[in-house]
Chains A and B, each alone.
Chain A
Amino acid sequence: MLDQIRQQIDRVKGMGATYVDCRWYPFEEQNYLLMWNGNLKVTAASRESGMGIRVLYKGAWGFSASSDMGDIAAVFDKALDNARTAAERVTFPVRLAEKDILQASFTSPSRVNPFEVPLNEKVAFLKAMDDKLNQKGVFQRSADLSFMRKQIVFVDSEGSEIEKNITEVFSSLEVNGLDAQGMSHERKYKLNRQGDTRGWESINPALFGENAERIVRELNEMLAAEDCPKEDRSVILLPGIMYLQTHETIGHALELDRILGYELAYAGGSFVTLDDFGRLRYGSGKLTARADATLPNSPGSFGYDDDGVPAQDNVLIDKGILVGAITGRQMVEEANVKAKRQIFDGSGGANRATSFYRVPIERMTNINIDPGSDGSLDDIIANTERGIVMDGDRSWSIGSNREQFHFGTEIGWLVDDGKITKVVKNATYKGDTVKFWNSLSAVGDESTWQVQLVNNCGKGQPNQVMQLGHGIPVCRFDNTRIGE
């Protein structure tokens, strides 16, 4: 197959294409199991293979994909034909930043292949978790396991050939209960990064068991709690919601294609402009954020992106000042020209596609916040006069330019005079992005830092779902509106 791909790339180049690449997926398989209230509702698996062809012709992209490997020349021809049409409406001809030509491979760290674990072992794990969750106060309970495994062979007309073998494991537990007024409340546990590898060995029954007991206990505390007050307080965000705050108001806001207007008709733009790089005070001096695709063992670390660019660790916000973005080969070139200055030194290696039948676009890698020097969670609480600790993602809604947001969390603990006083339910908060990050007044140390895994980041048209990570500490923000 590789020889055929090389031949087709040469053929299409000979027909006038300035760049061609192929992502061939010999296989991609998935396995998903969901146990809901003791019922194994979903026992599903899938397998697919195919290739996606991207052609650059007179400054315009064409893409075509097929699962039919019987006539791959037709797929290349279709991609070229699509590019020729696109070339009839070009305003800024696509050009690609320089990159190293590589023959390379990457395998994500995994000890036990989850696809070789017998189904009945997976079911037994879910049943054990279901038993743990089946407690007083719990009205609905669920436990799930999700596995992905894929091989991607990337070949381009510049001479790069890269093979990637990626395994992903995700799992979560959830309980719901009804309070005295019949209102529903939820509490979840999602597997975060455990150790150096993420095969079946990530599924540690003891860890899940402890967390099952915790979320049931917290749900019951919440069911007896009062509503979150509607007032201004300091909010102390635990990793279960801090990851989402980072994801939505730093990650998506700093995707360079959004900044340049490529998502305007759908996901939206960004309040960030090209003039802001190196100048905008995005957050307080306690904020340093990075796109780190080199972080070991995370879905946001993939060796090489789908432009064939090696994974990198790039600072996005340095002590509060905006300095970088999430970038691929195309957008950095356009941004530098439009800004009339060199903002970006080459691609940030963040162009990825969700499958062989989708085109690569700028995606988050691991969008992390560096740990700070404000101590442990206990230290931060002790140093908070009037606040609320929040955890868990219940709802999220963000302005179209990521300029403002409203988050609903699963649980809140009011803090008064340095002590937790009581649990509250329906804990929500809202704010304006830049004002909020500039109110960052405490960043937890390494003891509070953990890598949350995300398996469902949506973006693009046609829509794509991507896996990534967020390494984040506990953070405190002052003067935030809660309870609305």
Chain B
Amino acid sequence: MKERILQTLRDLRAYALEKGYEISLFYHEEDSYLMRFANSAISLNTNEHLIRLDITAYSGRKRASFELITDLAKLDEMKRGIDTAAEMVEHAMPLTYQPTVAAYADSFADESGYDQALAQLSNAERLDYFNTVAGDLETDQLKLSGIFSSGTNVLAAITTRSEHTQYFKTSDAQVTAVLAHEAEKWEIIAEQSAYRKPDLEPAALNRELSFLLDRFQQDPRQQLPTGSYDIVFGPAAIADMVHFMNWIGFSGGSMKRGFSFVAEDKLGQKVFSDKVTLVDDPRLLDTYPFKRDFMGMERNPFAFFDQGVFKGFAWFQDDADEFGAQPSGHTVMHKSLHLHPGEVKAASLEELVRMPRQKDVLYIPFLHYMNIVNPSKGVITGSSRFGALLLKADGSVVVPFNVRLTQSLLDIFGDKVAWLSQDTVACNQSQSYGARNPVAYVVPRFMQVDGLEISHSNPSF
């Protein structure tokens, strides 16, 4: 199949050259499966097999693109797509800068993130997995929800600048399991991310849910007063905040457009706590990495923050072209972000709860519906969800109703950071809008930040 895909791209390139077009071709093939659970049943079992071809035509400083959902057998349709893009570009308006067309120096293929056993999971295996996660936790009132999303992604590219091709193939799985109390409206969650089949451990999710379930069923509930708290964030919350930082923190284009809380003069300056080191590390297979970007640049570990010091912006090729910057190998669908661990031993929620503490600590595993309130100040807002706990100094546990946090990322990752855990987790951040694009960040399992403000507190679940 790989050779058929690449030969199709070479044939299309030959067609474009014959017609005198300047083009780049980006092939995306997904085989996606999603089993969705709700109310302890499979509410939907779905799959799609889709092939997209994205054609970008260039003419001097003009650029236009045409995408079609197609099939490898439809070469004529793809050629017509090339004609359409070439016709569109003639009517486009020149950019004020020269867009760069990739010229691959050699052919490159990476299938290191592909695991056939994961890619070929059966319906029965997905169902078995969820049945193991559920174990005997479900009751008339406690209902299981979640997803088991898995699939294969193939990306390939060629341009008229060179005969060489790029090819990437990955497998991925994202599991979310939620137990929700129908009458009381509380929910707890356990998640898993996998790039190979052995990463799937349903028993581990069952253990996590069991522990949280005990807390939610046995411990008192409480509306927290608003005000200052020492907060331990769980991996999903940390990954989500890193995701927003990726957007409004260290993107060169966002910075130039005034949509970033990190200015150019912060290069080499301390921005965050010296406990914070954030690296784009394409060596980490559990992040579904790109070892080369779509311009053909080799990707190596790239530090954005090293012990709190800002080291550099990520420059997407088009932003680099527009603002006269050097591209940094970040012309990819996603980065492989790794927030380095700290020194505190806490490898599970159980261990976190058992840790001795001088003050009450609020544990927030998940921030729901996070959004940017003020990009220039890095202010974000979101609500706790899925199993927040107030860990009291005396060792007892209280289950708080959900709270809202509206705070700057500069504070959250700044000098208020108390500690990060030694243990890290690959936290799946994939969305299924449009083309499949598996993405995960590796983050510490826990990060404690002292003195953050809770601005709103729910009176009930």
Contact = CB atoms under 8 A, between A and B. Distances in A.
Interface of A: 35, 38-50, 60-68, 70, 78, 81-83, 85-86, 88-92, 118-120, 123, 127, 139-140, 176, 178, 182-184, 260-266, 268-269, 271, 357, 359, 394-401, 403-404, 406, 408, 426, 428, 430, 432, 458, 461-465, 484
B381 A261 contact: no
A25 B368 CA distance: 35
B48 interface: yes
A179 to B, nearest CB: 9
A417 B145 CA distance: 52
A176 B257 contact: yes
Contact of A66 (B40, B48, B177): B48
Interface in B364-416: 368-377, 381-383, 385, 402, 404, 406
The 3 nearest A-B residue pairs measured at CB: A48-B69, A119-B91, A85-B123
B60 to A, nearest CB: 13
B257 A462 contact: no
Contacts of A430: 404, 455-456
Given A395-B381, A399-B368, A399-B458, A461 B147 contact: yes
Contacts of B433: 458, 463-465
A85 B45 contact: yes
A45 B57 CA distance: 12
B374 A261 contact: no
Given A123-B93, A264-B38, A461-B36, A395 B376 contact: no
Given A264-B178, A265-B178, A40 B47 contact: no
Contact of B37 (A48, A118, A265): A265
Contacts of B49: 66, 68
Interface centre among B84, B91, B180 (most CB of A within 10 A): B91
Given A86-B44, A184-B258, A463-B431, 11 more contacts: A35-B93, A45-B67, A60-B42, A62-B46, A67-B50, A81-B123, A139-B257, A183-B374, A262-B39, A398-B383, A426-B374
Contact of A397 (B69, B180, B263, B383): B383
Contacts of B123: 81-82, 85
B145 A61 contact: no
Contacts of B203: none
B31 to A, nearest CB: 11
Contacts, number: 253
B217 interface: no
A39 B88 contact: no
Contact of A401 (B177, B185, B404): B185
B368 A268 contact: yes
Contact of A266 (B70, B147, B375): B147
Interface string B256-274: 0111000100000000000
Given A67-B51, A396-B371, A60 B41 contact: yes
B146 interface: yes
A401 to B, nearest CB: 6
B127 interface: yes
Given A40-B95, A65-B48, A400-B385, A178 B68 contact: no
A54 to B, nearest CB: 9
Nearest to A85: B123
Contacts of B370: 397
Contacts of B32: 462
Contacts of A91: 39-41, 143
B146 A462 contact: no
Interface in B18-59: 32, 34-51
B404 to A, nearest CB: 6
Contacts of A403: 458
A184 B143 contact: no
A45 B84 contact: yes
Contacts of A176: 257-259
B66 interface: yes
A65 B67 CA distance: 19
Given A44-B66, A261-B38, A261-B145, A184 B375 contact: yes
B149 A70 contact: no
Contact of A82 (B45, B81, B130, B145): B45
Interface in B184-202: 185, 187, 189
A447 B50 CA distance: 47
A216 to B, nearest CB: 16
B439 interface: no
Contacts of B372: 395
